[in-house]
Amino acid sequence: MADMATGRTTATTATAATRTLGIVTLVGVAWLIVSGLLVSPADVNQGESVRILYLHAPSAWVAYLAFVVTAGASALYLFTKKHSLGWDRLAGASAEIGVLFMAVTLVVGMLWGRLTWGVFWRWDARLTTTAFLFVTYIGYLAVRRLGGTPEQRARRSGVLALLAVLEIPLVHFSVKLWRGLHQDATVLRPNGDVKLDGFMLFTLIFGVAVFTLMYVWLVLHRQRTLTAEDLLDDVGLEIAIAERRGESRPPDLAADVPRSDRPRPDITVGF
Partner 1 sequence: MTWWRTAWLIARRDLLVEWRSRVALNQVFPFAGIVMVMFGFAIDDTRLMESIAPGLVMVATMFSLLVLVQRSFALESEDGALDALRTAGVSSSALFWGKSIALAAQLAALQALLIVLAVVLYGSSVRPAGAPLLVATWLSGSWGLATVGTLYGGLAAGARGRETLLPLLLLPVVAPVLIGATRAVEAALGARGTVVDGWPWMGLVAVFAVVFCVGGTLAFGPLIEE
85 binds partner 1 (CB under 8 A): no
* Residues in 1-30 at the binding interface with partner 1, rule: CB under 8 A: none
Task: Name the segment binding partner 1 (CB under 8 A); options: 15-23, 42-50, 85-93, 131-139.
Answer: 131-139
**Contact call for residue 155 and partner 1 (CB under 8 A):** yes
Coil, strand, or helix at residue 188?
coil
Site membership for partner 1, residue 103 (CB under 8 A): no
Determine, following the binding rule CB under 8 A, whether residue 171 of this chain makes contact with partner 1: yes
Q: Which stretch binds partner 1 (CB under 8 A): 113-121, 146-154, 221-229, 245-253?
A: 146-154
Q: How far apart are CA 206 and CA 199, in angstroms?
A: 10
**Beta carbons of 155 and 78 less than 8 angstroms apart:** yes
Q: Which is nearer to partner 1, 140 or 206 (CB)?
A: 140
Of the candidate residues 17, 37, 42, 159, the single one contacting partner 1 (CB under 8 A): 159
CB of 115 to partner 1, least distance (A): 28
CB 71 within 8 A of CB 65: no
Give 204-208's long-range contacts (Cβ < 8 A, gap of 24+).
204/53, 204/54, 204/57, 204/58, 206/28, 206/31, 206/32, 206/35, 207/32, 207/36, 207/54, 207/55, 207/57, 207/58, 208/57, 208/58, 208/61
Which amino acid, 185?
A
Using rule CB under 8 A, residue 81 touches partner 1: no
170 contacts partner 1 (rule: CB under 8 A): yes
Is there binding between residue 132 and partner 1 (CB under 8 A)? Answer: yes
Please tell me the distance from the alpha carbon of residue 40 to that of residue 42, in angstroms, as a whole number.
7
Nearer to partner 1, 148 or 258 (CB): 148
- Judged by CB under 8 A, the residue of 52, 71, 175, 220 near partner 1 is 175
Q: Please, which residue, 75 or 196, has the CB nearer to partner 1? A: 75
Question: Of the ranges 81-89, 155-163, 219-227, 237-245, which one interacts with partner 1 (CB under 8 A)?
Answer: 155-163
- According to the binding rule CB under 8 A, does residue 147 interact with partner 1? yes
240 sits near partner 1 (criterion: CB under 8 A): no
Q: What is the DSSP annotation of 83-124?
A: --HHHHHHHHHHHHHHHHHHHHHHHHHHHHHHHHTSSS----
- Which lies closer to partner 1 via its Cβ, residue 178 or residue 199? 178
User: Which residues are within 8 A (CB) of 198 and not within 5 positions of it... i.e. 6 or more apart?
Assistant: none
Largest CA distance in the chain: 84
Q: Does 126 bind partner 1 (CB under 8 A)?
A: no
Q: Which of 78, 125, 127, 242 binds partner 1 (CB under 8 A)?
A: 78
CA distance 65 to 75: 15
Q: How many whole angstroms separate alpha carbon 62 and alpha carbon 215?
A: 7
Q: Is 258 in the site for partner 1 (CB under 8 A)?
A: no
Residues of this chain that bind partner 1 (CB under 8 A): 78, 132, 135-136, 138-139, 142-143, 146-148, 152, 155-156, 158-160, 162-163, 166-167, 170-171, 173-175, 177-178, 181
